[in-house]
Amino acid sequence: GMNKKVSKDVFKGANIPTAASESFNGNLESAEAIIEHIRKDFTIPVVVKSATQGSSIGVTIVRDEAQLEEAVTEALKYDPILVVEQFLDGREFTVSVLDGKALSVIEIRPHSGEYDYKSTYTVGATEYLVPAPISAEMTDEMQRIGELVYREVQGSGVIRVDVMTDHADNMYVLEYNTVPGMTATSLVPKAAKEMGIDFPTLCEKILLTASIGKF
């Protein structure tokens, strides 16, 4: 779908709230040096992930020091660039933005406690609450942030913006996907359906908006 590293810099420039994050280059630094930096700059728990991997491969949530080395080594297998960010132990939401307009907010509740590669593709491993059971203010704010991301990254068609909250309900954008999954278990169709847009209509809208500007 997209490169996670690029979006962080874009977000910082546009005042879009993101979790503390840093990227490291395994071609320039040894794994040991990278681990040292992480120890110095972050408080555990952190998320360690390779920069270009989609779908949670090469992603580890490090909950104690002992896991750090393995997490870094694992991420470097997939990409020389790795991204480390503060792990937010809050709730996870996703905002689909179609042609610049946010759809219903969805809350993602993993049954296993964390959204991983396995749950990403297993029907029933994760609960999706549409619309998310949050206040109207939070919903508005999340949709506003989603639309802001869409504008900043010059989205076309549909993008999906993943947002996490902390215990105080502050919002942080985790990342965005320019080519969100479009299968029966996917989130964009779920959000659209909640707003009365069925799957064929959604696909048609996406094709129409995505092709504008290409010709």
- pLDDT tens digits, one per residue of 56-78: 667 888 999 899 999 999 889 88
Give the whole-angstrom CA distance, residue 158 versus residue 202. 10
Res 119 pLDDT > 80:
no
Q: Which residue has the higher pLDDT, 13 or 80?
A: 80
DSSP 53-78: --TTTTEEEE-SGGGHHHHHHHHHHH
Question: What is the average pLDDT across 126-155?
Answer: 92
Helix (H) or strand (E) holding 120: helix 117-121
Query: Of all residues in the chain, what percent carry a pLDDT higher than 90?
Result: 36
Residue closest to 16 by CA, chosen among 146, 208, 157: 146
Taking the whole predicted model, whether its pTM rises above 0.75 is answered as no
Give the whole-angstrom CA distance, residue 215 versus residue 22. 38
Question: What is the average pLDDT across 83-92?
Answer: 85
Domains of the chain, with CATH numbers? 7-86 (3.30.1490.20), 92-211 (3.30.470.20)
Question: 174 pLDDT band (50/70/90 cuts)?
Answer: confident
Q: Which residue has the higher pLDDT, 200 or 11?
A: 200
Residue closest to 85 by CA, chosen among 62, 109, 118, 52: 62
- Give me the sign of the Cα torsion angle 51, 52, 58, 63: positive
Strands 171-177 and 21-25, by their bridges, are unpaired
Res 132 pLDDT > 90:
yes
Question: 93 pLDDT band (50/70/90 cuts)?
Answer: very high
What is the radius of gyration, based on Cα positions, of the chain? 17
